[in-house]
Amino acid sequence: MRVGRSVKALLALSFAGTWTLGETTPIQQYHQVPDSDGIYYTGPEVSAPKLVKTVYVPYPGDAPSKNLQGMTVMAMVIDEKGVPQHIQLLHSHGEFCDQASMQAVKQSVFEPGKLGDKPVPVWIDVRVVFRADRTQATPQVLITERDFAPPSPAALEDKHGKPLPYTAPIPIHTVDADFVDPFSVHPFVQVAVVDVLVGVDGLPKQARVVQGLGFGLDEKAKAAVMRYKFFPAMKHGKPVEASRNIKVNFTKF
């Protein structure tokens, strides 16, 4: 997960046309905007940065094979020139592997994400997996947070153009649950179900796991959902507090 950014990126969508409690006019259009630091997430209008060229990450020479297996995971911004900035360590695999991974990222070439045809800074995650057999390790891009378009007016109206009696909260910014061990094999699909209470402002107020996985993953699922952003539930065209179930994916490896 990103470090220290849950407050800064409360909502990565800006709406042209707004509503307040008691109004019945739905959102007409939207445009993605950056967070408070001027940085975007991937979404309907913003493409993800691409890793164009990279280098191999060296293994520590004196480490026994049983201690090699693991991963380093970083969050970073790929700026409008394709340069990695604001690199944050999310998951450590020891000082040598972490530093080697960061150096490999700094030597890599990225194609920046774009808002339309304009290059813009975009948040991504990058992981480097180290294996006991010393298989070549390289940085790999992960997209774990993303924006989605809010519902169209038609989705909130009946065939006569009147507001529907009720529509449930709709996610407009999602977060994959925190990183799990890429070497573990579980006899189940890694998806948890979390019930979340969403306020009239579209922000989660509380969450509880209704279908858990165990293995310490349930708390990670709850934490991920609490960082979601929603188009709130609507009752006869007015935003209301309501709950809904969310299927939470864990970061894939």
| Domain locations in the chain as residue ranges | 50-142, 146-249
Angle at 223 between CA 147 and CA 243, to 5 degrees: 75
CATH number given to 146-249: 3.30.2420
Whole-structure pTM value: 0.78
- Distance of alpha carbon 96 from alpha carbon 196, whole angstroms: 40
pLDDT of res. 232 = 97
Q: What is the Rg, in whole angstroms, of the alpha carbon atoms belonging to the chain?
A: 20
Q: Could you give the percent of the chain with pLDDT greater than 90? A: 62
**pLDDT band at residue 29, thresholds of 50, 70 and 90?**
low
In the predicted model, is pLDDT for residue 240 greater than 50? yes
**Closest residue by Cα to residue 127 from 60, 51, 190:** 51
Which residue in 90, 163, 160, 159 sits closest to 128, CA to CA? 90
Question: 50-142 and 146-249 share one CATH topology?
Answer: yes
Three-class DSSP category at 133:
coil
Give the integer Cα–Cα distance in Å for 237 and 156. Answer: 8
Instruction: Tell me the mean pLDDT in the region 77-85.
Output: 97
What are the structure tokens assigned to 121, written together?
A: 């800074």
CATH code of domain 50-142: 3.30.2420
pLDDT in tens, 177-225: 876 666 665 544 567 899 999 999 999 999 999 988 787 788 989 999 9
Q: What SS3 class is residue 81?
A: coil
